[in-house]
Amino acid sequence: MSSLTPAQQAMSDAFDQHVAAELAGDLESTMATMVGEPHVNHVPTLMGGVGYDGTRAFYENHLVGKFFPPDVEMIDVSRTIDANQIVDELVIRFTHTTEIEWMLPGVAPTGRRVEVAVVVIIKMADNKVVHEHIYWDQASVLVQLGLLEPANLPVSGVESARKVLDPKLPPRLL
The confidence score (pLDDT) of residue 166 equals 95
Domain map (residue ranges) of the chain: 6-165
Residue type present at position 24: A
Could you name the CATH architecture of 6-165? Roll (3.10)
pLDDT confidence of 70, banded at 50, 70, 90?
A: confident
The whole-chain average pLDDT of the chain stands at 94
The confidence score (pLDDT) of residue 174 equals 61
CA distance 116 to 136: 7
Give the residues across from 79 on adjacent strands.
Answer: 88
State pLDDT tens for residues 90-132: 999 999 999 998 999 999 999 999 999 999 999 999 999 999 9
The confidence score (pLDDT) of residue 1 equals 47
